[in-house]
Amino acid sequence: TRADLQNGPAIMQTLFTDPAYARHLARAGMQQTIMIGYSDSNKDAGYLAANWELYQAQEALAETCGAHGVTMTLFHGRGGTIARGGGPAKRTIMAQPPGSINGRIRITEQGEIIDERYNHPAIAQRHLEQIVHAVLMNSLPPRTYKRTQPKPKWRSALAQLADISYHAYRGLIYDTPDLLEFWQQATPIAEVSQMHIGSRPSRRTGKATFDSLRAIPWGFSWMQSRFVLPGWYGLGQALAEYGRKPKRLERLQTMYREWPFFTAVIDNTQISLAKADMGIARLYAGLVQDEALRERVFTQIATAYRQTEHWILQVTGQRELLDNDPTLKRWVRQRNPYVDPLNFIQVDLLRRLRTLPDQESAAAQELLQAIFLTINGIASGLKNTG
């Protein structure tokens, strides 16, 4: 979570000064692996705030390890979605703070990503080459490869953006009455939970509270319903509030051009927005029985989506999303027409299943199996979805 990331350096400081652990480190050659997670921090704080906390935590951990003569290897617990640290591997590695890699990195590759990246030898080789290249470039000394260090004004701007984004996200998730009910009805989370495709249940406890929900099905269900909310929500309001003054907008544009971290944040958000579809999301919102709740929450999300798209284009100077990556833009546009019908079918199947009086009947089980097929199809079509 956000608090865990903030407390991480202090925890390692305590560990390094423990005599017993210090002896263990000495025997291990002063090597320390530290795993940082992306899923829970995003669910807890929202996309931008979580990414900024992760960036700062890596800086602080590198400093703490360096002060104790410890060689640190960061183990990035990334998932497939942008919200869970996914996205183009090279871009992501190049965006890590200076001094946090130093030629060493570990990254989780989720099951749904392995086939995409490693099934074909040529693609696997290209992917590994990109990772090695990014690690080496990020690790080169400044005299060999000049990296843009974030300026104090940039860091101050990012801190303000993250704070605005955090409160916008928490305002939707925690302060919106019956948001949990909207999510349960406007996404296939109940059906996803019955697929038994993960190693853990969808909730930590039997109670259906937000804090008890695991981050992976939370993100997966929003992706299925094409809201893709964890990959962008809060960023638009942050950019809008901060960038209202021309000088501040110019600063954001400079940060986008020159700071790899901010570039990655913005460009990964473009991917999330491009794969989202508020027209299709509207159909899923139609599954919410309470009309007032449906209109209130969907309108808030759709308005935030349009705001985010507008300000992303303001910051990047583009006319359309993904203009910066024509190949990816073409790929998304080619795939979406094949994914969209699966969403239409899934909405219809969900409505039919949920209106059945007996959820254990043969008819219900037949509908459920058909829904499972649409879930797999949508996940395969959208990619970086797990």
Q: Model confidence over 146-165: pLDDT tens digits?
A: 677 899 999 999 999 999 99
What is the arithmetic mean of pLDDT over 264-292? Answer: 96
Confidence of residue 113 (pLDDT cuts 50, 70, 90): confident
What is the arithmetic mean of pLDDT over 8-18? Answer: 94
Torsion from C-alpha of 34, 39, 40, 46, nearest 10 degrees: 120
Confidence of residue 134 (pLDDT cuts 50, 70, 90): confident
Give pLDDT, residue 79: 67
Give pLDDT, residue 131: 87
Least confident piece of the model among 10-14, 212-216, 278-282, 338-342: 212-216
Backbone angles phi, psi at 203, to 5 degrees: -130, 150
> Above pLDDT 70, what percent of the chain?
92
Q: How far is CA 29 from CA 1, 14, 62, 242, 370, in A?
A: 30, 19, 17, 46, 54
Give pLDDT, residue 115: 78
Give pLDDT, residue 198: 57
Whole-number average pLDDT of the chain: 90
Give pLDDT, residue 84: 62
pLDDT tens column, 26-56: 999 999 999 988 888 888 899 999 999 999 9
Give pLDDT, residue 383: 78
Answer whether 90's CB lies under 8 Å from 133's CB.
Answer: yes
pLDDT higher at 10 or 213: 10
pLDDT higher at 127 or 200: 127
pLDDT tens column, 218-253: 899 999 999 999 999 999 999 999 999 999 999 999
pLDDT of residue 334 exceeding 70: yes
Q: Give the number of other Cβ atoms within 10 Å of residue 361's Cβ.
A: 11
Give pLDDT, residue 149: 82
Give pLDDT, residue 55: 94
Q: What is the pTM of this model?
A: 0.90
> Above pLDDT 90, what percent of the chain?
66
pLDDT of residue 200 exceeding 60: no
pLDDT tens column, 52-107: 999 999 999 999 999 999 999 998 877 666 656 667 777 888 888 888 888 888 88
Give pLDDT, residue 42: 87
pLDDT higher at 209 or 94: 94
